[in-house]
Amino acid sequence: MVALESSVLAQGLPPRANRQAAQLMLEAVRQGSALPAITAIVKGVPAVGLDDSELEHLLRRDGWSKVSARDIPAAMARKADGATTVAAAILIARQAGIDVFATGGIGGVHRDATHDESADLAELARSPMIVVCSGAKSILDLRATVERLETLGVPVIGYRTSELPGFFCAETGILLDTSVETTDEVADIFLASRTIGREAALLIVQPPPASHAMPREVVDAAVKQALARARDEGVRGAAVTPFLLAAVEKETDGRTLGTNLALLEANSRLAAEIAVALAARRRENRE
């Protein structure tokens, strides 16, 4: 099984694209011979895998708040609907016994010095799972995010790359200590991590598909503009990430949207292949 988040569908992507994103992710996991499970809080119940009517309800977005790990108890008690961030999704997926999760980009340390650091990082440190993504979103301070992941004991492993990808672009100039070429290697590292009782996730990063990757300078310029607007408008808290993602899309005349969809699909596909490799390794180990 491969778990997926839902905040990207309810808040991260523009409304006109979320249906396509959901379909691309679900289909990519199935094509990789795994079962997809979108995580969410549905009327107060943590859910792993949505039925058609629940997915429709989510895609319409009315009344869905962004739920990080700390927000789950209140959403449950109030019987509210909540779209899960990476932090909330991996918490729920873990409890359902799922080992592999895919998303576009994790949250991280924000660029302005306002102590804004995504709760994704702390949750990654205590969620023994394989998390497949294209790095952290370009709107963040990527060096600071990598440093925090190191402090928290979360390995960042490049999948067929030795460089941290920059979400919308392939390159960041930040070199990784570990990279792998195959899904079997990912499975072996994860099993070794579990053998010695590590509780941290493995972050598997791959660049956006070459056909959709954007030039680094274009992304950097758009992010600078977006950050200036967020500052001017005084955006705070959970609203920061959705605001910046929308602003970057505007600054690039919508080009980042195509990249976002392509990398969500590619990461879902890779996560499925890793889940299959992990299941095969476990079978071999039992025999």
Which residue from 4, 5, 64, 247 is in contact with ligand PSU, where contact means CB under 6 A? 5
43 is catalytic: no
Regarding 219 and contact with ligand PSU (CB under 6 A), the answer is no
Cβ 107 to ligand PSU shortest distance, Å: 3
Helix, strand or coil for residue 23? helix
Residue 100, CA distances (Å) to 35, 129, 178 in order: 11, 6, 19
Regarding 174 and contact with ligand PSU (CB under 6 A), the answer is no
171 is catalytic: no
Closest by CA position to 140, among listed 170, 110, 117, 114: 110
Q: Which does residue 32 bind out of Mn ion, ligand PSU, none, counting CB within 5 to 8 angstroms by kind?
A: none
Q: Are strands 2-4 and 100-102 parallel, antiparallel or unpaired?
A: parallel
Cβ 244 to Mn ion shortest distance, Å: 11
- Of 138 and 183, the one with the shorter C-beta distance to ligand PSU is 138
Give the tokens for residue 39. Answer: 């995580």
| Count of residues in contact with ligand PSU, rule CB under 6 A | 19
Residue 120 one-letter amino acid? D
Regarding 86 and contact with ligand PSU (CB under 6 A), the answer is yes
**Are 120 and 149 a contacting pair, CB within 8 Å?**
no
Regarding 119 and contact with ligand PSU (CB under 6 A), the answer is yes
Cβ 20 to ligand PSU shortest distance, Å: 14
**Catalytic one of 137, 251, 265, 273:** 137
- Of 152 and 191, the one with the shorter C-beta distance to ligand PSU is 152
Q: Which does residue 166 bind out of ligand PSU, Mn ion, none, counting CB within 5 to 8 angstroms by kind?
A: none
Binding site for ligand PSU (CB under 6 A): 5, 7-8, 11-12, 68, 85-86, 104-105, 107, 118-120, 137, 238, 241, 245, 260
Residues serving a catalytic function are 5, 137
